[in-house]
Structure 1
């Protein structure tokens, strides 16, 4: 087991097959729940998104939803180590989450860093394959879970590869999750983007704002053009 330390001292527990990448950090920082809002971190893995929110000062009730039991246990362990009692690690399949009437619409904010890959070779490690390929969760599954979980007006943030953007935006609109903010992630100003981040709001009117590119420099995310 490994330990990563975030900016303000929050400890993140990791293990082979349950680590995190730059995309998860970008997602966690692109938009965050407000204090006392109820948040849902889908495909939470080791809990990195929930823990970044905690590191930034968020203390509202937060459900970290993860299919892999070992990764979910890491999240629970990190929550205990950081005295983050507001983070509840839940090991469950998001495809069956918030399906009953009283459960639906409980959340104010949701985020998901979903599996990206629909084709190509899978890792021989079944845990890594599950985290990276869409056999156990498609982006559409995540969007449908957000639709069920969020109250009217609730916000949903998602990251995905640029080649999937048209389908993602279409699926969000079909689920009444109106895209409101969009940003591309690049390694340099003159490079093609390798990721996009989108924030949607449930049941709101159309109106999308495209924000300055997020540039990655020396492992850090810089919002707007570099000087």
Structure 2
């Protein structure tokens, strides 16, 4: 498999026209995020290659999944990947700005691997800047968009750098939303968590479901948690 494509168990991701390639973050979120079973509506904001849209479609067979990306090359690539997958009839990809979506029905779940450089120098390449920096989708606009588009019992799931956790938690609180699940991700047992999986809802939970997990217990050896989480997707 070349660097321009990535083979999963049920679909292939071509990525030569996408700034952000298949990585651990997107795969983690696609396998961790929750949605109601049944005929739910799921939105993937900043769909990129379409990876998370495809993962959610695989996990929730009765759902309809919408993916949107502001980058026309990424949206075209995602549409190609969806068309060549077994889930083509249940996923729709659009090119556009998620903050301007006009939807009166509402979504049961929204997933987003948002841009993660908040206060750093932007890249010289515009496509990579759109994908990596919060110049078009900062946490405030993401949370406000999710609040507007989610149904009352809807779920927003994101993955963020650990150093940005205060930003997104504060933003959610200011918008009247609630953190209901957090999973701290360590690459190895002896390292500090670099990423956080975060679930946000309109309705508070009785308690926050808080976990800390490790990706690899030794070089090249996935932890039992990571192996179990991704077993339906990774070939090896």
1:70-89 map, 5 Å: 70-83=73-86, 84-89=88-93
Tell me, yes or no, if structure 1 residue 45 matches structure 2 residue 48: yes
Considering Cα pairs closer than 8 Å and 6+ residues apart, tell me whether 1 or 2 has the greater RCO.
2
Secondary structure at 1:85's aligned position in 2? helix
Assess if the C-alpha contact under 8 Å between 2:139 and 2:167 holds in 1: no
Unpaired segments of 5 or more residues in structure 2?
A: 227-236
Tell me, yes or no, if structure 1 residue 11 matches structure 2 residue 12: yes
Distance 1:59 1:220 in 2: 30
Secondary structure at 1:135's aligned position in 2? coil
The offset of 1:13, in angstroms, is: 1.9
**Matched residue, 1:167:** 167
Distance 2:207 2:79 in 1: 38
1:79-158 map, 5 Å: 79-83=82-86, 84-98=88-102, 103-104=103-104, 106-158=106-158
The offset of 1:18, in angstroms, is: 4.3
The offset of 1:220, in angstroms, is: 4.5
**Under a length normalisation based on structure 1, what TM-score does the superposition of the two structures give?**
0.87
Assess if the C-alpha contact under 8 Å between 1:26 and 1:221 holds in 2: no
Q: Return structure 1 stretches of 4+ with deviation > 4 angstroms.
A: 219-222
Distance 1:93 1:200 in 2: 21
Assess if the C-alpha contact under 8 Å between 1:212 and 1:223 holds in 2: no
Distance 1:53 1:2 in 2: 22
Deviations 1:7-35 (A, max 9, x none): x2211121251423211111111123334
Assess if the C-alpha contact under 8 Å between 1:45 and 1:75 holds in 2: yes
Deviations 1:155-181 (A, max 9, x none): 110111111111211212232331111
Shift in CA distance, 222/117, structure 1 to aligned 2, threshold 3 Å: farther
Assess if the C-alpha contact under 8 Å between 2:116 and 2:133 holds in 1: yes
Equivalent residues, number: 219
**Matched residue, 1:186:** 186
Distance 2:131 2:202 in 1: 26
Deviations 1:80-116 (A, max 9, x none): 1114221100111122123xxxx24510011111001
Shift in CA distance, 196/96, structure 1 to aligned 2, threshold 3 Å: same
Distance 1:174 1:195 in 2: 22
**Matched residue, 2:230:** none
Unpaired segments of 5 or more residues in structure 1?
A: none
